[in-house]
Structure 1
Amino acid sequence: MSAPQDAGRPASPAGLAPATVAVTAGRPRTRPGAAVNEAVWLTSTYVADGPYDYGRTGNPTWDAFETVLGALEGGRALVYSAGLAAMAAATALVPDGSVVVAPSSAYSGTTTQLQLAQRQGRLTLRQVEIADTDAVGEALRGADLLVVESPTNPMLDVADLPALVDLAHAEGALVVADNTFATPVVQRPLDHGVDVVVHSVTKYLAGHSDVVLGATVTRDDSAGRDLHERLRAHRHLTGSIAGPQEVWLALRGLRTLTVRVERAQANAAELARRLQAHPAVRAVRHPSLPDDPGHARAVAQMRGFGAIVSIEVDGDAAAAERVAAATRLWVHATSLGGVESSLERRRRHAAESPVVPESLLRLSVGIEDVDDLWADLDQALRA
Structure 2
Amino acid sequence: MSPETLAVVAGRPPRGPGSELNTPVSLTSTYVGGGSMDGGGLGYGRFGNPTWEALETALGALEGGSARAFASGMAAVSAALHLVPADATVLVPHGAYNGTHSVLDLLVEQGRARVERVDVTDAAGVRAALAAVAGPALLWLESPTNPLLEVADLAALSAAGHERGALVVVDNTFATPLVQRPLDLGADVVVHSVTKFLSGHSDVVLGAVVTRSEELLARLVRHRTLHGAIPGPMEAFLALRGLRTLPLRLERSQRSAAELALRLRGHRAVARVRHPSLPDDPGHELARRQMSGFGALVSIEVAGGAAAADAVVDAVRLWVPATSLGGVESLIERRRRHAGEPVVVPEELLRLSVGVEDVEDLWADLSQALDAAAPLA
Q: TM-score, normalised by structure 1?
A: 0.93
Identify if the C-alpha distance between structure 1 residues 377 and 166 changes in structure 2 by more than 3 Å, giving closer, same or farther. Answer: same
Does 1:357 find its partner at 2:342? Answer: no
What letter matches 1:21 in structure 2? L
More divergent stretch after superposition (44-53 vs 163-172): 44-53
Does 1:122 find its partner at 2:119? Answer: no
Which of residues 57, 75, 82 is equivalent to 1:85? 75
CA distance in 2, matches of 1:263, 1:173: 37
Identify if the C-alpha distance between structure 1 residues 322 and 293 changes in structure 2 by more than 3 Å, giving closer, same or farther. Answer: closer
Query: What is the percent sequence identity of the aligned residues?
Result: 63
CA deviations 1:306-365 (Å, max 9, x no partner) are 000000011111110110111111001111000000000000000001101111000000
What letter matches 2:169 in structure 1? V
Give RMSD over aligned pairs: 1.1
What letter matches 1:269 in structure 2? A
What letter matches 1:114 in structure 2? L
Aligned to 1:208: 201
CA distance in 2, matches of 1:284, 1:121: 39
Does 1:270 find its partner at 2:259? Answer: yes
Asked if the contact 1:158–1:299 (Cα under 8 Å) also holds between the matched residues in 2, the reply is no
Asked if the contact 1:131–1:295 (Cα under 8 Å) also holds between the matched residues in 2, the reply is no
Q: Secondary structure at the match of 1:166?
A: helix
CA deviations 1:106-150 (Å, max 9, x no partner) are 100001111221122111100011111111111112351000000
Structure 2 residues not aligned, in runs of 5+: 35-39, 373-377
Cα displacement (A) at 1:274: 0.7
Identify if the C-alpha distance between structure 1 residues 185 and 367 changes in structure 2 by more than 3 Å, giving closer, same or farther. Answer: same
CA distance in 2, matches of 1:123, 1:26: 37
Cα displacement (A) at 1:177: 0.2
Aligned to 1:174: 167
Does 1:40 find its partner at 2:55? Answer: no
Asked if the contact 1:161–1:298 (Cα under 8 Å) also holds between the matched residues in 2, the reply is no
CA distance in 2, matches of 1:258, 1:311: 26
Cα displacement (A) at 1:294: 6.5
Cα displacement (A) at 1:98: 0.2
Which of residues 331, 339, 347 is equivalent to 2:328? 339
Does 1:366 find its partner at 2:355? Answer: yes
What letter matches 2:83 in structure 1? L
Q: Secondary structure at the match of 1:352?
A: coil
**What is the number of residues matched between the two proteins?**
364
CA distance in 1, matches of 2:269, 2:295: 24
CA distance in 2, matches of 1:289, 1:99: 35
Cα displacement (A) at 1:293: 7.0
CA deviations 1:129-188 (Å, max 9, x no partner) are 111111111111235100000000000000000000010000000000000000001100
What letter matches 2:174 in structure 1? F
Asked if the contact 1:264–1:307 (Cα under 8 Å) also holds between the matched residues in 2, the reply is yes
CA distance in 1, matches of 2:279, 2:102: 29
What letter matches 1:360 in structure 2? L
Does 1:56 find its partner at 2:36? Answer: no
CA distance in 1, matches of 2:195, 2:282: 33
Structure 1 residues not aligned, in runs of 5+: 1-15
CA distance in 1, matches of 2:284, 2:162: 22
CA distance in 2, matches of 1:292, 1:380: 24
Q: Secondary structure at the match of 1:100?
A: strand
CA distance in 2, matches of 1:152, 1:290: 18
Cα displacement (A) at 1:292: 6.7
CA distance in 2, matches of 1:299, 1:170: 26
Asked if the contact 2:150–2:283 (Cα under 8 Å) also holds between the matched residues in 1, the reply is no
Which of residues 284, 295, 300 is equivalent to 2:273? 284
Question: What is the correspondence of 1:215-294 to structure 2 with a 5 Å cutoff?
Answer: 215-219=208-212, 224-291=213-280
Cα displacement (A) at 1:295: 5.0
Cα displacement (A) at 1:299: 3.9
